[in-house]
Structure 1
Amino acid sequence: MIPRTLPRQAGRPRARRAARILLALTSMAALLGLDLPEAEAAPPLGVTVRAQPDATSARVGALFAGGTGGGHFCTASVVHSAGRDVIATAAHCLGHPDTTVFAPGYRDGEAPYGLWRLTGVYTAPGWTRGEDPDEDIAFATVEPADGSRTRAVEDVVGGFPVAAGQPRDVTVTVLGYPSTLDAPLRCANTTSLFSATQRRIGCPALSGGTSGSPWLVDGALAGVLGGHEGGGTVPEVSYSAVMGAPAQELYRRAAG
């Protein structure tokens, strides 16, 4: 409160206070202006959009049979490893590892980071014996398809850390390649537990070809699209096996 005994000085504090308010409002407007494009770029939960080219989508790629001319059938992503050469996908995507190649960042018919052939596959015993949907996750090591062996895939595009033990209602971002599109789709939504071993998400348009898509929580791999019903029989609902002890052991073996 301004003392009554100083009437001549009353205008100055008010002017200074008004200036501070104006400065704060100007700063707030500037901050809001900077944040607005990012807010607009992020779609609402449960909405599927075309993923923009960035460091995250560069780590996600399509799986092809032999080469890019034959069409892609699944999705995979690069995960962090000691050898910097490991990808994660659904186990049911690796039925023919000798002819499967991985194209990270594939977009509009181009493989900007090259093609990578599989050199080793890691699947859980339950999948190998009986295709247990609770173990429909796999890891594989890769090297340049041209045989040069001069670089590792993680050195080129980076790799996602692997995180297990997520709560049932965690928000997940899925990036994957429908077989009918030559660019990845992106959708984020809150998940739920379909069972103790299967996680469920509601995202439209995740059709055939998105099997193996990474489920990311704060930038870390918490599952892949697969599991129950091979990942889902309708594009609007997808599944992932919970990243349990068998999957973590597979990752440790593959990551070296």
Structure 2
Amino acid sequence: MTDQQRPPRRPRLRGRSVALIAAVLALAGGTTTLAAQATAYNVHPAAQAPAQAAAHAAAPAAAPKAAPTAPATRSATPSAAPTPAPTPAVTPVAAAAPSSTPTPSPSATPSATPTATPSPTPAAQPSVKAVSLGTTGTAPADADSAKVGALFSGSVAVGNHFCTASVVDSPGRDLLLTAGHCLSSPGSAVFAPGYRNGSAPYGTWKVTQVFATTGWSQNGDTDQDFAFLTVAPLNGKQIEDVVGANQLGLDASFTAQVRLYGYPASSDLPLLCTNATTKFSSYQREIACPAYSGGTSGGPFVSTDTGQVIGIIGGYQQGGDTDDISYSAYFDQTIANLYATAISHTG
């Protein structure tokens, strides 16, 4: 495998990188490129908000996240991200209104109490398992984790994955979400949802298109470190028909509780941690979950309240310079515009 087939490693890259292709993707079936749509994407204020600037300035200069020991084919050449360019402001999209609460049905009139001695009532079973917040473990193999998978360069093999992605709902039913720094061109990239220990239980899906903002692809704006990918059908089916999808969530509270998934490069099992996020800066959220090392970039923040994906590991320090703290760019009108562009070019 050549370096041109995999994204380049950066010391601060949460994706276990192997040769990022610098050019913006030429979309399949046409010559339209995202560079021609700069106006639609650059929607952040011209300068960082004071809170963001202060937070970034105050952040300790942690050592870059070390990548695990790798075979000679894995590139380890660092590549500095370009300085973000100023962009115009926009009014954030309003969050979707919550569904109305159904009116409960009236209780039926109880029958007369029997004279016989009643049987003991079994103890009530909890509807959900208790969750230890901020604790990381292996994600169970269930319907939720099936929507999350690992990105590979070429063949699906043990130790060959470099980033994480997840399926998001779309009209074409073929859309993934990952970090912008994970992939800039399809190349030989494939996606294996629900991947575990060398097995791809839901098949291997070829990446066909990559959609990133010009703010990220041209200026390295960490507030726009996200990308959508399309994948080709497999056996006549779209990926969403096989594993389902999470809806994209916009303008979610900075203090939302989420399930955080990710595939570390040092393991072939997905991690899961549940915790509340906090506001790091105006356009960055933060979460404390241990052991999210290189390879977890692109892992989704799935809201425990709505089931929507409201962030991905990326953004500030391309996801974080330490294994125990992760970041995400805030999902607002910027990613909504990119989503609209992606679904308009699918199919």
Offset, 1:255: 2.8
Aligned to 1:140: 229
Distance 1:189 1:51 in 2: 14
Aligned to 1:86: 175
Q: Is the 8 A contact 2:184 2:210 kept in 1?
A: no
Task: Map Cα deviations across residues 65-102 of structure 1 (whole Å, 9 max, x no partner).
Answer: 11113611100000101110000000101134212111
**What is the DSSP-based 3-state SS (H/G/I as helix, E as strand, rest coil) of the residue aligned with 1:156?**
helix
Q: Is the 8 A contact 2:258 2:302 kept in 1?
A: yes
Matched to 1:172, the amino acid is: V
Q: Is the 8 A contact 2:184 2:212 kept in 1?
A: no
Q: Which moved more, 1:95-104 or 1:126-135?
A: 95-104
Q: Is the 8 A contact 1:80 1:255 kept in 2?
A: no
Task: Map Cα deviations across residues 125-176 of structure 1 (whole Å, 9 max, x no partner).
Answer: 10011111000011011014xxx56110001101111111111211111111
Aligned to 2:335: 247
Asked if 1:224 is matched to 2:315, the reply is no
Q: Is the 8 A contact 2:261 2:272 kept in 1?
A: yes
Offset, 1:246: 1.3
Asked if 1:189 is matched to 2:275, the reply is yes
Aligned to 2:246: 160
Gaps of 5+ in 1: 1-15
Matched to 1:73, the amino acid is: F
Q: Percent identity?
A: 46
User: Pick from 121, 126, 142: which aligns with 1:26?
Assistant: 121
Asked if 1:123 is matched to 2:212, the reply is yes
Aligned to 1:13: none
Matched to 2:317, the amino acid is: E
Q: Is the 8 A contact 1:73 1:179 kept in 2?
A: yes
In proportion to residue count, which structure has more helix? Answer: 1
Distance 1:195 1:18 in 2: 66
Distance 2:243 2:115 in 1: 51
Q: Is the 8 A contact 2:316 2:328 kept in 1?
A: yes
Q: Is the 8 A contact 1:49 1:187 kept in 2?
A: yes
TM-score, normalization: structure 2?
0.63
Asked if 1:35 is matched to 2:133, the reply is no
Q: Is the 8 A contact 2:185 2:210 kept in 1?
A: no
Q: Is the 8 A contact 2:301 2:312 kept in 1?
A: yes
Aligned to 1:173: 259
Matched to 1:44, the amino acid is: S
**What is the DSSP-based 3-state SS (H/G/I as helix, E as strand, rest coil) of the residue aligned with 1:93?**
coil
Gaps of 5+ in 2: 1-112
Distance 2:208 2:235 in 1: 12
Distance 1:35 1:18 in 2: 31
Matched to 2:121, the amino acid is: T
In proportion to residue count, which structure has more strand? Answer: 1
- The 5 A counterparts of 1:87-106 are 87-106=176-195
Matched to 2:254, the amino acid is: R
**What is the DSSP-based 3-state SS (H/G/I as helix, E as strand, rest coil) of the residue aligned with 2:134?**
coil
Asked if 1:213 is matched to 2:299, the reply is yes
Q: Provide the aligned C-alpha RMSD in A.
A: 2.0
